[in-house]
Structure 1
Amino acid sequence: MNKSEFIETIKLSNGEVFHLEYHQNRIDNTFSHFFPSEKVFSLKNIIGKQSLPDDGKYKIRFLYNYNHYSIEIIPYKVATIKSISCIDVGDFDYSYKFLDRTHLNLLKDKAHTEEVIFLRDKKVTDASYANLIFFDGSQWLTPTTFLLNGTCRQRLLNEGKIREMPIYEKDIASFECIGLINAMLDIGDLSLPISVFTTS
């Protein structure tokens, strides 16, 4: 039995829990892959039993393995990012949302910038804790290559608010700005001017 731990981070804002169906779908897929004989946790039932703050923005941090879970509710503030650069991730696989991010964190530390763009074969994948979108002056684009297909990324694709295309390291400087998206960050919540991008 694989006893790896996984994590879901879910947005709670002014008492409303956001996009729970996308997080449940990822948990369902994780159980199907790693723990096919175990009963899947129901986020709706578990979160429904929590005492949730009704004012302010929080992240619900849900940690789980095949037979145990824990939940935390933590105040959330958008980070400030003043520099971002690229680093190669090699063949590292993060297609499921594991709690252990040691390798990604070590790679980020090597970059000596506040945030990183992970590359694989010169193709853009993700930032250290978010999927990436790029604004070309008329639309937001996201790389077809990614380490983890995040819940926000998939929802925005489903809603037609972003579009996929191959993006290479050499293309980055041609965009107007870089956006970071995840369960806590929607389009526009964390957009960086392309001037923060530092080439190696």
Structure 2
Amino acid sequence: MCQLFETIKIVGGEPQNLVLHDERMNRSRLKLLGMKDILKLSDFIAVPDNAKEGIVRCRITYGRSFVSAEFSSYSPANILTLKLVEAGTLVYDHKYLDRSRLNALIDKNAADDILIIRNGCITDASYANIVFSDDRRQVTSDTPLLCGTMRELLLRNGVIKEERITVDDLHRFTHFKLINAMLGFDAPWLPLKNLISNVV
């Protein structure tokens, strides 16, 4: 059975950005499983008392219906460097529970995480979308592996733009940052030199 998941940020007991999580979940259920009924995460998330303070991660596992909700404390990983890795055949266009092909690309001895290249185009880090800045504008690649909910929110609100970004385009930018449901847009901007760019 195909299992997928959503990671929901809980702040002060309140789930964040549920509309976009609902949209992605129901798109995946329709495309992969043929399920036309509409599920709402708000019907399934019951935040326990011990998760109502601070920032908490909620992982919802689902398939044809909801499977489980798990709550855990959250502190962001200290990701400072990314190694560019070519993965031309990798497909991760839905938030599959099985991340083994993604995880197999990571080499912690080379960098803190990876930046995945597919057919010469920038896609994502292993667990986040990426935004680049040239000190005038903030752009994300139009070829992501997975369309993240924070990426979608920032695009809809006009905070970032999307465009085709290839490896050869990287020199046009000065900084980058990672974004996802948990990080929001709050991760630090990192200098472009923190990309280890000899693609393997």
Q: Please say which of residues 36-45 and 100-109 is displaced more in the overlay.
A: 36-45
Question: Where does structure 1 differ by over 3 angstroms across 4 or more consecutive aligned residues?
Answer: 37-41
Seen in structure 2, the aligned counterparts of structure 1 residues 19 and 67 have a Cα distance that, compared at 3 Å, is: closer
| 1:21-100 mapped onto 2 (5 Å cutoff) | 21-37=19-35, 39-47=37-45, 49-52=46-49, 53-100=51-98
Pick aligned residue for 1:167 from 162, 165, 168: 165
Instruction: Identify the residue that residue 151 of structure 1 maps to in structure 2.
Output: 149
Q: TM-score, normalised by structure 2?
A: 0.91
**Residue in 2 aligned with 1:197?**
195
Query: Is contact 1:85–1:111 with CA below 8 Å preserved after alignment?
Result: no
TM-score by length of 1: 0.91
CA distance in 2 between partners of 1:38 and 1:187 (Å): 32
Alignment of 1:95-134 (within 5 A): 95-109=93-107, 112-134=110-132
Unaligned runs of 5+ in 1: none
The aligned counterpart of 1:136 is 134
- Number of residue equivalences: 197
RMSD: 1.8
Q: Would the alpha carbon gap of residues 37 and 194 (structure 1) be closer, same or farther in structure 2, given more than 3 Å must change?
A: closer
Letter in 2 for 1:163: K
Distance (Å, rounded) in 2 between the aligned partners of 1:116 and 1:43: 30
- Please report how far the alpha carbon of residue 177 of structure 1 lies from its aligned counterpart in structure 2 after TM superposition: 1.1
- Partners of 1:121 and 1:110 lie apart in 2 by 23
- Contact kept? 2:107, 2:113, Cα under 8 Å: no
> CA separation in 2, counterparts of 1:68 and 1:56?
25
Q: What is the identity percentage for the equivalent residue pairs of Structure 1 and Structure 2?
A: 32
Query: 1:141 corresponds to which letter in structure 2?
Result: V
1:45-103 deviations in Å (ceiling 9; x for gaps): 111x3425221111110111214511111111111123212001112211111010101
Find the aligned partners of 1:45 and 1:67 in 2 and give their Cα distance.
12
